[in-house]
Structure 1
Amino acid sequence: MGYLSCKTDSSISTSTSDPFQIQEFTYKDLQLATANFSDSKLLGRGSHGLVYKAVLRSGRLVAVKKPSSNDLDNEIDILSSLHSPSLVNLLGFSTNSHGRRLLVVEFMSNGTLFDVLHTNPRPPTWPRRLRLALQTARAVETLHSSSPPVIHRDIKSANVLIDRNLNARLGDFGLALRCVDDFRLRSTPPAGTMGYLDPCYVTPENLSTKTDVFSFGILLLEIISGRKALDMANSPPSVVDWAIPLIRKGKFMSVYDPRVPAPRDARVRKMVAVVAAKCVRPCRERRPSMKEVARCLGELSKLNSWNGLSNPCIMGEDVGIVGTPLKNQQLELGVRSNLMELMASPKSQIRAKTTRLPNLRF
């Protein structure tokens, strides 16, 4: 019986047989594009370095990541094999005469989910929050469904970026690892961000896709409540320590951000909170997969649209074209039927004195 092992490979894939092509830039081009890495172009700090706004000679706006260390091979290797509208995709890289590498990635013009939730003077509406949660869940699902799976290890609101169309995109793969079954113990130590770290992830061999599921659960609680994952100004400081007792008691409204109207449908309020609670279960084997989480949030986003809310959370490929009352009624019935399936298993109930909670099938 082997361990689940994550390998850091130094090879860089730039094969033109891929449906997308990674470009190699000259270091001088990126110096010019960032005004010699001027502070005026600085966008922020990632887990492994600085990120700059840049304009390429073609006129395209991009982001350039300048690492704090010389090792970007792992990040380039992972991103060069992944390309998805739910991720901040790699466009290219550069190497200077000293072997120092830079990454060129898509530019996200509307900041981070952290900014949207915690610094925006106009807090996002519930429909927008549900949309962002669903898009982030699908991004993590994309990583976990790749072959071999990729574990992000640093899912948090600051690493979810918002593009020009106000869609959520998962970025910053500085800590990400590829995973394959192996008979060797991993040498990569646990890493991540306080407040989002899975308590089960204490040694390298404890890493699994359920590590990301836990972090996503914290993020979902953050989206629901408007509270930071860890905030010493609150008591308790941890959003999970605050929210889970309320969810177990069935006090779902108490978990929702009081600055904006919560979902009108009590079932939606309850089920979104329960999804978050399941993701942060202490026993990682009892947590759902990201595929199951994304499926459930997708169904809830559709159900949410039938309760008098203006709903930007449904994307065209989810719903199709609807126009007549009959088609609308048929769609609503289909959504409710799917949710009944998701609620079927008695295993998923969270223990509470009087409240029977819905579940995911897992």
Structure 2
Amino acid sequence: MALSSSQAPILVEDSSLEGWKVIGSGGFGQIYKARHRQWGCDVAIKLLHYDDGTSASLLRELDMMRRGSSPYAIQVRGVFRGRVPSSGLSTQLGLVMELMERGSLASLQETLYGAPPWPLVFRLAHQVALGLNFLHSLSPPMLHLDLKPSNVLLDFYLNAKLTDFGLARYYRSVTRVSKKDSGEEGGTISYMPPEAFQVSYSPTLASDIYSYGILLWSIVTGKQPYAHAKSSLVRLRIPEGDRPLLDEIRVQAAGRAGLTGLIELMERCWDTRPKQRPSSLECTTETEELYKIHKHAINDAVHQVLKKLDQREEETMIEQIGRVHITQASAGERFEEVNIYDNAPTGGPPIQEMAGGCTANQTDNARVKDPPSFGPASVCYKSSVCPIGSPSPSPSTERSSESSTAKPSQQSFRPHLSSQYHRQFSSPDTFQIHLCNVTGFQHGNNNIMHIQVMDPSDRKRHPTAPSRVDLPPPHPGSWKDKTGGVG
């Protein structure tokens, strides 16, 4: 496809750009912000999702934008050809455009949670009308066909420019008779004129005027039309005459100069009959008169909005930094918890440890319900059963072990287990264990271990047990200070 302009576009290679960053996306593709090394300024690069191999759609839009260049339409600087960093794709083509620092009207509405101050409202209405009137004044006239807040871009001082000429058409070249044949929707449903939903539809200058009327309503209210309605219902109701509600605006118009005139203009723009809609020149003239009423306060209004935008940007940066700190703190807390609970008797099924016997002081100590404190294998601790014949710890040893702040983990204790231990793992279900020659029994769940000392009077000889077992001499002063063995 050849460009209608005799001047060839400037070709921008990927080697000339750095600092790529995604700033927008849509059905057309993605928009990046990048720094041009030779030009010394930031630019916007628009890449298309789909390419038929000839780049016809890209070149056609480039031609439209070059012909539609005006102070109120986005400026195209050249054509990009190369690879986008980290995209992993082959060579791509895109448009290199001037960067609008303040984003779009849609992003401004989201940031402000509504409409901007009234002087800025009237200036936006006038500047969009200026851009649309320029397109309609070309020879042949150019139709934008996709007017909406996201296609109104804002420079640093919130001046408006039209963008996205992907659906733009020359008025004389419109030969489409059916959307089904062309495969195009023809714009955003909420901003499309009622005639666009007919089977046979040929866009006209009045089609853009209808979209401009709906856009005026969005500029005044800061909202999206039919925001909560299903698209299928919008398709049915717009041809029937449904329009965005004006009640809220009329209430405000009582004390706001020029607002009544703006309401009347938007109602004329979205008239169901295309021939009754005003021209783009009429819209420009009327909005100019309305803007003059508030022009004296435009600097204060712009300053007020810029201050809010800068404040919101600062809050966003602080929030992002806070997320990093919180994430780091959370990671530290998780690590600390692991260290704390590494010594706690948690996790896994209940464990029973048994030994053939134990001295008196050891069973007395087993009555105390405390978390385990592990140490050398020669010392008996409260939550473990000691092997037969091991000496009992002295009170001073117990106190020193309890007051110790550095307790080794359970894993460090396991290699020191004596071969006299018998460890039995059991599932949480009910189980039965027959005990013989055992002075204590432990049971519990993953968090608490219950220790039960056997009463000697309840002990009975097992049929397979020997007639007599000699035990070590009892500890002096124990309640087990008796003669004889088991029997």
TM > 0.5 fold call = yes
Alignment root-mean-square deviation, CA: 3.2
Aligned residues of 2:115 and 2:221 also touching (Cα < 8 A): no
Distance 1:310 1:135 in 2: 16
Distance 1:172 1:184 in 2: 20
Distance 1:55 1:252 in 2: 42
From 291, 307, 312, give the equivalent of 1:301: 291
Which residue in 1 is equivalent to 2:31?
51
How has the CA–CA distance of structure 1 residues 99 and 42 changed in structure 2, closer, same or farther, with 3 Å as cutoff? closer
Aligned residues of 2:4 and 2:63 also touching (Cα < 8 A): yes
How has the CA–CA distance of structure 1 residues 117 and 158 changed in structure 2, closer, same or farther, with 3 Å as cutoff? same
Distance 2:191 2:143 in 1: 14
From 21, 25, 29, give the equivalent of 2:12: 25
Aligned residues of 1:46 and 1:172 also touching (Cα < 8 A): no
| Higher RCO structure (Cα 8 Å, ≥6 apart) | 1
Aligned residues of 1:126 and 1:263 also touching (Cα < 8 A): no
Which residue in 2 is equivalent to 1:243?
245
Offset of residue 215 of structure 1: 0.8
From 176, 180, 189, give the equivalent of 1:194: 189
Q: Which secondary structure state, in structure 2, belongs to the residue aligned with residue 119 of structure 1?
A: helix
Name the TM-score, length of structure 1 as normaliser: 0.68
Q: Which secondary structure state, in structure 1, belongs to the residue aligned with residue 108 of structure 2?
A: helix
Which residue in 2 is equivalent to 1:272?
262
Offset of residue 44 of structure 1: 0.6
Distance 1:233 1:182 in 2: 31
Offset of residue 216 of structure 1: 0.8
Aligned residues of 1:151 and 1:177 also touching (Cα < 8 A): yes
Distance 1:311 1:23 in 2: 37
Aligned residues of 1:108 and 1:161 also touching (Cα < 8 A): yes
Offset of residue 11 of structure 1: 2.0
From 82, 89, 93, give the equivalent of 2:68: 82
Distance 1:53 1:43 in 2: 6
Identity among equivalent pairs (%): 29
Provide Cα deviations, 1:54-99, integer angstroms capped at 9, x if missing partner: 1111211100011011231210111122221101111100345977
For 2:163, the aligned partner's letter is: G
Q: How many aligned positions are there?
A: 278
Provide Cα deviations, 1:37-64, integer angstroms capped at 9, x if missing partner: xxxx001114411000011112111000
Provide Cα deviations, 1:276-299, integer angstroms capped at 9, x if missing partner: 011100011110011111110001
Q: Which secondary structure state, in structure 2, belongs to the residue aligned with residue 130 of structure 1?
A: helix
For 1:33, the aligned partner's letter is: E
How has the CA–CA distance of structure 1 residues 123 and 50 changed in structure 2, closer, same or farther, with 3 Å as cutoff? same
Moved more, 65-74 or 284-293: 65-74
From 59, 67, 85, give the equivalent of 1:73: 59
Which residue in 2 is equivalent to 1:210?
206
Q: Which secondary structure state, in structure 1, belongs to the residue aligned with residue 94 of structure 2?
A: strand
Offset of residue 185 of structure 1: 5.2
Which residue in 2 is equivalent to 1:317?
none
Which residue in 1 is equivalent to 2:155?
163
Distance 2:4 2:11 in 1: 11
For 1:80, the aligned partner's letter is: R
Higher Cα radius of gyration:
2
Moved more, 136-145 or 119-128: 119-128
